[in-house]
Amino acid sequence: MNLKTIDIPEKLIDAAFARARKQSAHYKKQKTPFYTMKGKEIAKIDASSEFLIEKLSGIVKDFPSIDKLPEFYKDLFTFIIDINNVKKALSNMSSVSKIIKNIRREKIVKLKELKFEPNSIKIAKNISREYFGRVSSLIKSLKKDINFYNESVKKLKELPSIKADEEVYLIAGLPNVGKSTLLSKITESKPKIASYPFTTKGLNVGIFFKKYLPIQVIDTPGLLDRSLSKRNNIELKAISAFQYLKGTIIFVIDPLQIISEQKNLLKELKKLFSDKGFIIVINKTDLIEKTKLEEILKEFSENYVVIEGEGLNNLKEELLK
């Protein structure tokens, strides 16, 4: 997605003024100093306003229309950013761009109509000063909107690009169970792995090949069972966007964490993604006794794969089926 940020007001104004100075410097000398001065002021207004209008309307034009996005992204966008406020920010930028267009027209007409009289040079300078004053304060009035828009774009840019119409494997489970480790073992992806919960804050995407076809594997932030704090609620909602994707959930179980919580989460996910297949992976089997493993296997009577050595190969085979 082609998402662009926009310069902060001070920088926009500086750049617009620099363009004005450049145009003025390049303006050809006219028959009289008065006409040269008038022409220079018009060129300044023209160049600076064109720059600002282009910047502002470009941002508005390039922002993807939320209604036209695939359902998956539409949902993710609405969870990640405050769409209404982004729309408001864009609409304010659009209004300012239109007002600048009008001021430009008004001031240029005034300058063009100006005849050579004793006071004319002073009047022309005043018209120009008025233009720059008003345009500067208009751009400065966008400070909040520009900041909000840029922050939102930054968040959206962190979204990995996921082909929403292709099959995916989604790795889910409690925090710290080894989801990212699993992603790194079945794809070339090198996600951050650490021994504390909530290492993964966003989505990591890796690719593996099934009969030469690329399949996306998506590693997600750890989901807590039930007692969802506010932040994790947002993550859970973001995960719910996955209902629009086709594919299979790889549910990772850590035998050292509370099994009933993991069973509950699995149940929740099965409700949320009733159309998807599930593969249960029992991870970290190197850390438990065989008897403990057998106990856990009994808890999950469905299809499961034990991952470790041979187990990892079994999982890969399962995914390639």
Ligand X SMILES: Nc1nc2c(ncn2[C@@H]2O[C@H](COP(=O)(O)OP(=O)(O)OP(=O)(O)O)[C@@H](O)[C@H]2O)c(=O)[nH]1
**120-159 binders of ligand X (CB under 6 A):** none
- Is 94 one of the binding residues for ligand X (CB under 6 A)? no
CA-based nearest residue to 249, from 178, 171, 162:
171
Q: Which does 194 bind (CB under 5 to 8 A by kind): Mg ion, ligand X, none?
A: ligand X
- Is 195 one of the binding residues for ligand X (CB under 6 A)? yes
- Is 200 one of the binding residues for Mg ion (CB under 5 A)? yes
> Please, what is the minimum distance in Å from the beta carbon of residue 252 to Mg ion?
10
Integer Cα distance of 9 and 143 in angstroms: 6
Beta bridge partners of 218: 170, 205
Contact in structure between 169 and 216 (CB atoms under 8 Å): yes
Selected range binding Mg ion among 83-91, 113-121, 176-184, 290-298, rule: CB under 5 A: 176-184
Selected range binding Mg ion among 56-64, 71-79, 121-129, 192-200, rule: CB under 5 A: 192-200
> Please, what is the minimum distance in Å from the beta carbon of residue 148 to ligand X?
29
User: Hey, what are 109's tokens?
Assistant: 């007409």
Interface pick for ligand X out of 24, 128, 152, 176 (rule CB under 6 A) = 176
Integer Cα distance of 139 and 86 in angstroms: 17
**3-42 binders of ligand X (CB under 6 A):** none
- Is 311 one of the binding residues for ligand X (CB under 6 A)? no
Interface pick for Mg ion out of 97, 152, 180, 184 (rule CB under 5 A) = 180
**273-292 binders of ligand X (CB under 6 A):** 283-284, 286-287
Integer Cα distance of 238 and 79 in angstroms: 6
Q: Which does 175 bind (CB under 5 to 8 A by kind): Mg ion, ligand X, none?
A: ligand X
> Please, what is the minimum distance in Å from the beta carbon of residue 67 to ligand X?
33
CA-based nearest residue to 186, from 163, 169, 161:
169
Q: What is the enclosing helix (H) or strand (E) of 251?
A: strand 247-253
Residue-by-residue DSSP string for 120-167 = HHHHHHHHHHHHHHHHHHHHHTTHHHHHHHHHHHHHHHTSPP--TTS-
> Please, what is the minimum distance in Å from the beta carbon of residue 151 to ligand X?
24
For the chain, how far is it from start to end, CA to CA, in angstroms?
32
Integer Cα distance of 45 and 16 in angstroms: 9
Beta bridge partners of 12: none
Residue with nearest beta carbon to ligand X: 222
Kindly determine how many residues on this chain lie close enough to bind ligand X according to the rule CB under 6 A: 21
Q: Which residues lie near ligand X (CB under 6 A)?
A: 175-181, 193-195, 197-200, 221-222, 283-284, 286-287, 308
